[in-house]
């Protein structure tokens, strides 16, 4: 075959490969084999040295023309394939912004809010109302009115965070929900049956069962002839309604300046089922709250006659209630905001 025929053949083959490239990626992949040194036309160029000198100019011209024709075809096909690819992309990746996806990834109430609502439901079902009070409190409501005058050593039971407001250490972040009791009794006369949920603050180091900012629900009953037996019965009812019949609870003698007698309310640790673990400090029990018969001094401080009325009060940790109900082993998990944890509830 003459050199001219070989050039023509190589040109036709190259053009055919260009025109039959199925997409842009395939076209770009064959580029080196069309124009590189190892391409057929490149190989023919290397034969130029062996061609008769009289023919060299004509063959060189034919080779250049063939290469140029292949390059022009290549560039034109590349533009067409790129436009095609862009059109396909626009078609497949098109977003219809006029339509809202049918299952948007909605958030939901935090476990603590859900728990608070459930607790409120349980107590409302038992005839209680729901009351609220401020998180920044005065010394009077958080301590003094609760039978804890400034010199009382039991103030050290609560590691208090004071706010740089008012005079001296008068304004603080409430250390418990008990100040709401005082506010309710100031505004309402007995009979009082109320629960007061809310956030409280202490200088406590965070661990599996402690947080520096946590939640409590306070309960307060003031009426004629209320006794410790009413308290015990109410807590039994509550435990069965909230945890189910299988969970055991107990009352342990304790001390709170605003109740007399006072008790600590514990339930079987649901993590280890009583065997002892890190969450229950190896005791098998978890302390959920304190309770007792309202001290006569507290009633007198708000102008309720302790000779006519008596009452009981309790204050439970909501975070610990949620921990026990859902078998969570570490309170800190609730507030690290890991979506994998939060979406489970
Ligand atoms: C009180 O705060 C009393 N006001 C409770 C009370 C109310 C007693 C009415 C009598 C009458 P105490 O400091 O024990 O008590 O806290 C009550 C509950 O809050 C604890 O049992 C526990 O469940 C929870 N709690 C206490 N500290 C923390 C903390 N750092 N993190 C999470 N929960 C806590």
3-state helix/strand/coil string of 151-192 = CCHHHHHCCCEECCCCCCCCEEECCCCHHHHHHHHHHCCCCE
Q: Is 295 in the pocket of ligand 1 (CB under 6 A)?
A: no
Q: Is 315 in the pocket of ligand 1 (CB under 6 A)?
A: yes
* Sheet with strand 310-317: strands edge to edge: 129-130, 192-201, 213-223, 310-317, 285-294, 259-268, 249-256
Between 106 and 130, residue with greater pLDDT:
130
The yes-or-no verdict on residue 60 having pLDDT over 90 is no
Q: 3-class SS at 83?
A: helix
Pick from 131, 205, 287, 317 the residue to mutate for probing ligand 1's pocket: most ligand atoms within 8 Å of its CB: 317
pLDDT in tens, 282-302: 999 989 999 999 999 999 999
Q: Is 221 in the pocket of ligand 1 (CB under 6 A)?
A: no
The yes-or-no verdict on residue 38 having pLDDT over 90 is no
CB 40 within 8 A of CB 13: yes
> Ligand 1 centre and the CA of 339: distance in Å?
28
Q: What is the largest CA-CA distance in the chain?
A: 134
The position carrying tokens 């075809």 is: 73
What pLDDT is recorded for position 317? 94
* Confidence class for position 46, pLDDT limits 50, 70, 90: confident
What pLDDT is recorded for position 274? 85
The residue among 90, 185, 202, 105 whose CA lies nearest residue 147 is: 185
| Mean local confidence (pLDDT), 211-235 | 96
What pLDDT is recorded for position 49? 77
Share of the chain above pLDDT 90, in %: 61
Q: Is 289 in the pocket of ligand 1 (CB under 6 A)?
A: yes
What pLDDT is recorded for position 55? 83
**Residues found in the chain:** 345
The position carrying tokens 């603590």 is: 112
pLDDT in tens, 94-112: 877 777 767 777 889 999 9
Between 149 and 261, residue with greater pLDDT:
261
The yes-or-no verdict on residue 237 having pLDDT over 80 is yes
pLDDT in tens, 61-96: 888 899 999 999 999 999 999 999 999 988 888 877
pLDDT in tens, 318-339: 999 998 889 888 999 999 988 8
The yes-or-no verdict on residue 231 having pLDDT over 90 is yes
Query: CA-CA distance, 335 to 87, in Å (whole number)?
Result: 47
- Phi/psi zone of residue 276: left (φ > 0), alpha (ψ -120 to 50 degrees), beta? left
Which atom, in ligand 1's list, is nearest to the CA of 286? 23
> Ligand 1 centre and the CA of 176: distance in Å?
7
Q: Is 317 in the pocket of ligand 1 (CB under 6 A)?
A: yes
Q: 3-class SS at 51?
A: coil
Q: Is 287 in the pocket of ligand 1 (CB under 6 A)?
A: yes
For the chain, the average pLDDT equals: 91
CB 258 within 8 A of CB 294: yes
What pLDDT is recorded for position 101? 67
* Confidence class for position 117, pLDDT limits 50, 70, 90: very high
What pLDDT is recorded for position 332? 95
Between 169 and 11, residue with greater pLDDT:
11
Query: CA-CA distance, 145 to 181, in Å (whole number)?
Result: 10
> Ligand 1 centre and the CA of 262: distance in Å?
13
């Amino acid at each position: 075959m003459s050199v001219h025929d070989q050039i023509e053949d190589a040109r036709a083959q190259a053009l055919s490969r260009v025109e039959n490239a199925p997409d842009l990626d395939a076209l770009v992949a064959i580029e080196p084999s069309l124009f590189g040194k190892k391409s057929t036309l490149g190989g023919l160029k290397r034969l130029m040295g062996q061609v008769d000198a009289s023919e060299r100019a004509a063959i060189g011209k034919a080779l250049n023309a063939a290469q140029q024709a292949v390059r022009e075809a290549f560039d034109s096909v590349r533009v067409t394939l790129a436009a095609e690819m862009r059109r396909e992309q626009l078609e497949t990746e098109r977003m219809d912004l006029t339509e809202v996806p049918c299952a948007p990834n909605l958030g939901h109430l935090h476990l603590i809010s859900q728990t608070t609502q459930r607790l409120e439901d349980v107590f409302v079902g038992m005839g209680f109302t729901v009351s609220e009070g401020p998180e920044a409190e005065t010394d009077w409501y958080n301590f003094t009115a609760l039978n804890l005058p400034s010199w009382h050593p039991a103030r050290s039971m609560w590691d208090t965070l004071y706010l740089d407001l008012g005079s001296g250490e008068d304004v603080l972040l409430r250390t418990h929900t008990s100040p709401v009791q005082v506010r309710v009794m100031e505004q309402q006369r007995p009979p009082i049956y109320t629960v007061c949920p809310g956030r409280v603050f202490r200088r406590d180091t965070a661990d599996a069962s402690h947080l520096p900012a946590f939640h409590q629900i306070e309960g307060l009953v003031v009426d004629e002839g209320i006794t410790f037996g009413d308290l015990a019965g109410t807590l039994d009812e509550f435990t069965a309604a909230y945890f189910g019949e299988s969970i055991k609870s107990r009352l342990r003698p304790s001390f709170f300046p605003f109740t007399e007698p006072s008790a600590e309310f514990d339930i079987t640790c649901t993590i280890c089922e009583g065997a002892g673990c890190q969450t229950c400090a190896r005791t098998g029990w978890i302390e959920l709250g304190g309770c007792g018969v309202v001290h006569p001094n507290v009633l007198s401080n708000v102008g309720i006659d302790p000779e006519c009325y008596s009452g009981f009060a309790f204050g439970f940790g909501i975070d610990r209630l949620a921990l026990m109900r859902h078998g969570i082993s570490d309170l800190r998990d609730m507030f690290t905001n890991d979506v994998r944890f939060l979406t489970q509830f």
